[in-house]
Structures are given as C-alpha cells and as structure tokens.
Chains A and B, each alone.
Chain A
Amino acid sequence: MSNVLQRELERLKKMILAVCAVVEENVGRSVRAIETRDRELARRVIESDKEIDRTEVDVEEECLKVLALHQPVASDLRFIVAVLKINSDLERIGDLAVNIAERAEALASRERIRAPIDVVAMSEKARAMLRKSLDALVTLDPKLAREVGAHDDEVDAMNRENFAKIQQEIRADLVDLDSLLQFLSVSRYLERIADHASNIAEDVVYLTEGNIVRHKGSAS
C-alpha cells in the first residue's frame, strides 16, 4: 500500500512542479510584454493560462483522490495539504500574469509613454521570491522558504512608492491618465504575486516542519 501511495505522491509532485514552471514563465513573459509593449507575447500568456487552470483542477482532483483512498498521515498528509494550497496560489499567480498581460495589451494600443515606475526592478523582486519559494518546495528547504517572507516587505514598500509616484504624475498632467492607471495596476498585480509567493513559502515551512507560520508578522 505504501509503495502505491509513494508513487501517487511522486506523480503529484511532478504535476505541481510542471505548473510551477509554466506559471513562473508566464509571469516573466507578462512583464516582458509590458516592457516591450508586445501584444503577441501578451496574447500567448493569456492563452496558456487555460492550461494552468486545467492543471489546477487535475492537481486538486489528484489530491482528493489520495486523501480518500490512502488516508495519508504525517509528512504525507502535510504534503497533500501543502500541494492543495500551493496549487491554488499558483493558479492565482497565473491569473495575475494574465492581468499584467492585459495591461500590456492596453498599453500597446496607446501612445507609448515613459514608464513612471520601475516595473522591471519590482518584477525581479517578485519573481525572485517566487523562484525562491518554488526552489524551497523542490528541495524541501524550510530555511530558504523562510527567507521569502522578508522580501515581501520590500515589494510592499515598492508598491506604495509606485502609488505615490503615479499619483504625482497624474496630478501633474492628466494627458497620460489612462496609461498611468495601467502601470498602477501592474504594480498592484506584482505586489499580489509576491504575496502568493510568500504563501507558498509558508506552506513549504508547514510541509517540512509541521509549523503554521502564517499571520506571525514574518515567516521567521
């Protein structure tokens, strides 16, 4: 019985890691689409999200099947619970990549303005958090996972700064209002991506140590 369960868990791990790869790539591509105003790239992000949505359901069904048929306990149980939660965080990150891609499409249809905020710097931070949390998941490293939470404050601060900058630009000149609002949304979406990356890292801590570190100020 245990070998069957181990095989199911391995399969599940492969499934979730495959989703990780697609989601991570989509976040990268959506930001690149903003930078380059690449409508085609944005469309590809939006298109491939359907696959993420389908896999999310598959992963969830697989988790429910393992719970129902094998009644896992201890680290196996924690793995399933963590995968269920990480699965839904990944799906949300996928959606946020779509949202960013939609902003890229909107920006591409307008006259190009100078970016009021440093989207690249912010996205690099958010993506680094995402990568780190996924690496922590792959290597089951709680230490690495705990590092992610600390960066979340930095991304939050960037989002606040971006808000202030865009507010200032709008006050100065209303001509570029529509484009500026697109950038405001992008900043907000990146901040949300960082939040989901933090959630994933917290789930990795639970998975590896059995401690729920959510809502404790930071993940340390």
Chain B
Amino acid sequence: MEPKLETRGLNLHYGAFQALRDVSLSIRPRAITSIIGPSGCGKSTLLRCFNRMNELIEGVRIDGQILLDGADIHDPATPLTELRRRVGMVFQRPNPFPLSVFDNVAFGRRVHGMDRSGDLAEVVEKSLRATHLWDDLKDRLGMSALDLSPEQQQRLCISRLVAVEPEVLLMDEPCSALDPIATGHIEELMFALAKDYTIVIVTHNMQQAARVSTETAFMLLGDRVEFGRTVDIFERPKDKRTEEYVTGRYG
C-alpha cells in the first residue's frame, strides 16, 4: 500500500538546535498513526511539518523530504493553501472562531473560495453530521461557537476541517483539554473519521495511543526510535528505549 504521507531523512533545526534528526516515516492512508515520546522529543514539530506550519517560526531550517501521495510538499507546484486544505490540524485547545457555529464550519470553504460551488448549508450539515454535532446543534446554528462545551468545540473544529474536504487530519493532543468521557467520544469520532481520512495524532497519553492507533512511532531527542504496529510497540517493543518509555522507566 502506498503511504499517504512520508518523510525521508527529515532534519529540522530551530536555529542551532536540531529538533528532528534524519526522521523517516511512512504513514498509511485511512488509518490512525500516533506519535509518542517525552516532552521535547520532536513529536509536535514532526506533526507540524506535515502541513508546513513550522515555517511560520523564525530561524527554522528543514532538509529532507516530506511526501504527500508521493509528491514533495515543498514543491513550488503545490501551493501552501492547497496543502493546508488537504492536510488540516486539530489543536490541543479547541480554537473555534468567535463566530456562529455555521460560520465556523463555513469559514474554511469561504477562505478557500469553495463557497461558490454547491450549497454551503448542505456542506455545513454534512460536516456537522460527520462529527455527530448536527442533531444537537441543527436548531442553534446561529449561536456563538464560544458558548459550546469544550467537547463540542473540539468537534466543531474537526467539522471546520472536514468542510474543506481534507485528506489528512493532524491532531496535536486533541483530548488533553477534555474530561475522560469527552475523550472517549472524540476517540470514537476518530475511529469513524479514519474510514475516510488519514489521521496522525500526537499524544502524551500512551493509553490513548494504544487504544486508537494502528501504528505508533516513538520519538526521543529528535530521533524516530521505533515505528511499527501499535500492538508491537506496547507488547514487544524492539528498542530498549521504547521499552523504557512505554513502561514508565524512562528518565
């Protein structure tokens, strides 16, 4: 199976500090891949590479390749806005815009000039259905998104991404601001979304990685130490450092 996303020999420096070291990784399409590792290991940096968000930071230097469907994402032929439409990001803290529920979901389509094609209301409904928000909010589409519960806000942010028909969803600690029940709901949602999208999740919560993902990468000090089936990482890791981290003996 061709990987959806792939890095080859990826190095990233923040000034003199090297945050990623020769990272090579193949991410399977329509599956959930998690990236785990202690704070500062480079996992969020790696995630942000996939839609070129690190380039907003001053002094960042990247070499090596990042391929989306086999094409280099740094190729000038791939416009950045198009890349970010295809590869969306869900953040740690839900970040709805101070707009209505409807306008939040419609936002991306308007930005990407997609609102002219088809019925916007239809897309909003479909996107809210995808995150199971529709039944709760269909009569309150005009309410401010800021008045939603944290879980609903996170679902809304995912709806906002889904509305622009992405292919990859990057999730950076998407449940860390949620309680265990809401976390369970978002994980269920991830399973449902993985039928249509490629999901890459960065998480500190190892049990979450074990529960949701089919493949797991363990990173340490910028190195991709081990990458494989999640069940192998958590039952029989090959690398001693992975073993020490997942069993809590690290550090």
Contact = CB atoms under 8 A, between A and B. Distances in A.
A174 interface: no
Contact residues on B (Cβ < 8 Å of other chain), bracket: 10 to 19
B235 A2 contact: no
B228 interface: no
Interface of A: 1-2, 5-6, 71-78, 209-211
Contacts of B207: 71
B235 A78 contact: yes
Nearest to A81: B235
B246 interface: yes
A74 B236 CA distance: 5
A138 to B, nearest CB: 21
Contacts of A6: 249
B97 interface: no
A210 B249 CA distance: 19
B91 interface: no
Contacts of A209: 236
A2 B248 contact: yes
Nearest to A1: B248
A210 B207 CA distance: 20
Contacts of A2: 247-249
Interface in B208-251: 210, 234-237, 242-243, 246-249
B206 interface: yes
A134 B242 CA distance: 28
13 contacts: A2-B248, A2-B249, A5-B247, A73-B206, A74-B234, A74-B235, A75-B247, A76-B247, A77-B234, A77-B235, A78-B236, A210-B235, A210-B236
A206 to B, nearest CB: 9
Contacts of A77: 234-235
B234 A73 contact: yes
A101 to B, nearest CB: 40
Given A78-B235, A78-B236, A73 B210 contact: yes
Contacts of A74: 234-237, 242-243, 246-247
B20 to A, nearest CB: 25
Given A2-B248, A72-B247, A74-B247, 20 more contacts: A1-B248, A2-B247, A5-B247, A5-B248, A6-B249, A71-B207, A73-B234, A73-B235, A73-B247, A74-B235, A74-B236, A74-B242, A74-B246, A75-B243, A76-B247, A77-B234, A78-B235, A210-B235, A210-B236, A211-B236
